[in-house]
Amino acid sequence: METLSTAKSHGGVQGVYRHVSEATGTEMTFAVFVPPQAARGPVPVLWYLSGLTCTHANVMEKGEYRAAAAAHGLMIVCPDTSPRGPGVPDEPDNWQFGCGAGFYVDATQAPYAANYRMASYVRDELPALVARHFPADMARQGIFGHSMGGHGALTLALKNPDRYRSCSAFAPIVQPATAGWSQPAFEKYLGADPAAWRAYDATALIADGARFPGFLVDQGSADPFLTTGLRPGLLEVACQEAGIPLTLHMREGYDHSYYFISTFMPDHIAWHAERLKG
């Protein structure tokens, strides 16, 4: 692992790191904020998964998570959203597929299966690396994210309830298998059979029996993707039917941007802290 940069911030250290990933077959860059409490021992780890077109850097620069993470003593880890590089198959003109759009799946279809293994990367490989190099208490992990990353957080949590103690999302894609901006990507990554998509669709996972202690979701009412790509009502129905507690806040007038995310970031971090430190 190579350190690309570190800077003191809010009493902790915001760093950017690079390593060669076995899962993706590429170099991967990620960001870690280590809070000041880590000087006294390992701290809980909160994973933030970003949305379409993002790298690790967007939320690191605009998400405003450090103040709350330092207040609560949480480490924040921000992975990239896909493999990248000259050998990685991509559709450069398509922002909803390929680089910047890994959708947190393990692709099964050629030519994507060799690199697009973001589920394994985020769930297994990067946590192992973080456990080796940072003062992380891996017995206390939470996960959250935005949009495509909200989808990633919900599905990883539902499939790994023993791994993650807490899960929340900002404007998540709750049913990617049927949304116009994700279904084509699922087909290319996972093949034409919709049955294969269910393992990466929060509402389908719940219908198929996956459970989690509860979710916090914030959604802006002025989000241009609200009724097409995001559709939080579908998660509400799925959680109601399954008996999963869902705290869903519709936020009047907020859009899909980091101006929205940063506004409710302190609430989400406090919500995770309560569950990770309890």
Q: What is the largest CA-CA distance in the chain?
A: 51
Q: Tell me how far apart the alpha carbons of residues 78 and 48 are, in angstroms, rounded to a whole number.
A: 5
Question: CB of 223: closest distance to its own copies in angstroms?
Answer: 11
Angle at 78 between CA 106 and CA 250, to 5 degrees: 90
| Residue 131 CB coordination number (10 Å) | 14
Active site residue 223: yes
Q: Answer yes or no whether residue 66 interacts with its own copies by CB under 8 A.
A: yes
Q: Tell me how far apart the alpha carbons of residues 68 and 267 are, in angstroms, rounded to a whole number.
A: 9
Helix, strand, coil percentages (3-state) for the chain, rounded to 5, are 40, 25, 35
Residue numbers 206-225 binding its own copies by CB under 8 A: 220, 222
Q: Which residues pair with 76 in a beta bridge?
A: 33, 46
Residues comprising the chain, all counted: 278
Residue numbers 251-270 binding its own copies by CB under 8 A: 253-255, 257-260, 262-263, 266
Comparison of 160 and 257: residue with beta carbon closer to its own copies: 257
Comparison of 61 and 241: residue with beta carbon closer to its own copies: 61
Active site residue 147: yes
Q: Tell me how far apart the alpha carbons of residues 49 and 37 are, in angstroms, rounded to a whole number.
A: 23
Active site residue 256: yes
Q: Answer yes or no whether residue 67 interacts with its own copies by CB under 8 A.
A: yes
Q: Answer yes or no whether residue 178 interacts with its own copies by CB under 8 A.
A: no
Indicate which residue of 21, 147, 166, 168 is catalytic: 147
Question: CB of 52: closest distance to its own copies in angstroms?
Answer: 18
Comparison of 68 and 130: residue with beta carbon closer to its own copies: 68
The SS3 call for residue 265 is helix
Active site amino acids:
147, 223, 256
Q: Which residues bind its own copies (CB under 8 A)?
A: 7-11, 14, 61-62, 64, 66-67, 220, 222, 253-255, 257-260, 262-263, 266
